[in-house]
Structure 1
């Protein structure tokens, strides 16, 4: 249930951000914005939030989501529409999605992932080595004459 709620929140937020940027500023139809939001929401939730975020930190996952959002918006936007290039629109939209993703990752890591109390599960292992002195560093049968005199 937590994953479904997070996925719905991600879809609605990306739909709003993409409709404001692509729909209102670049006159893309709502159907195309809805389809791009659906594909982007599913892909970035699985790749960025469930796979990448638990293994890295928020910054790396946000940068990866920026790249993924840019590629999905640009490729789907170019294939669904005709006319001018959507390169600048894709960059602006991906930046808007990345700002949302930064805060969404904090929500995901605190409420949805298994370790809810820990901020990020990034594999920050602290290895310690064991060191000790030997009780008898030199065996008694190999001691020199000087050691025996003491």
Structure 2
């Protein structure tokens, strides 16, 4: 149940950011934003939050989340949205906002899910 709550928090955060940046800024459809949110959420939760965060700490996990978000939003987003214009700046801005949110989310993960006070915050 703890993981479901954590995924829900992460999902809402990511959905809001992607909708504001891609939906409003790039006229992406809600379905495209939702697909990106699900892909990014699941991959970054397993890779960043469950594997990298406990072993390497918040700084490395946040940088990894930024890189993953940038690549996924730029690459998959361009395919989903059939954009003629480059999504590079939008992907960068969205990834930056997601990384800032992840920085705070990692504190929640460390205290409530990982139960490991030795992880760097």
Larger Rg over CA atoms: 1
Number of residue pairs matched by the alignment: 120
Deviation (angstroms), 1:103: 0.1
Deviation sequence 1:51-90 (CA, Å, 0-9, x none):
0000011111100000000011111111112221111110
TM-score by length of 1: 0.77
Q: Distance in 2 between matches of 1:114 and 1:6?
A: 13
More helix as a share of residues: 2
Q: Distance in 1 between matches of 2:81 and 2:68?
A: 20
Alignment of 1:1-150 (within 5 A): 1-82=1-82, 83-115=84-116, 118=117, 120=119
Work out whether residues 106 and 119 of structure 1, in 8 Å CA contact, stay in contact via their aligned partners in 2.
no
Deviation (angstroms), 1:114: 3.7
Report the 3-state secondary structure (helix = DSSP H, G, I; strand = E; otherwise coil) of the residue aligned with 1:55. Answer: helix
Q: Distance in 2 between matches of 1:95 and 1:39?
A: 17
* Runs of at least 5 residues in structure 2 that lack an aligned partner in the other structure: none
TM-score by length of 2: 0.94
Structure 1 segments (4+ residues) deviating >4 Å: none
RMSD: 1.4
Q: Distance in 2 between matches of 1:3 and 1:119?
A: 20
Deviation sequence 1:81-100 (CA, Å, 0-9, x none):
22211111100110010010
Q: Distance in 1 between matches of 2:81 and 2:25?
A: 15
* Runs of at least 5 residues in structure 1 that lack an aligned partner in the other structure: 122-150
Q: Does 1 or 2 have the higher relative contact order (CA < 8 Å, sep 6+)?
A: 2
Deviation sequence 1:126-146 (CA, Å, 0-9, x none):
xxxxxxxxxxxxxxxxxxxxx
Q: Distance in 2 between matches of 1:81 and 1:12?
A: 21
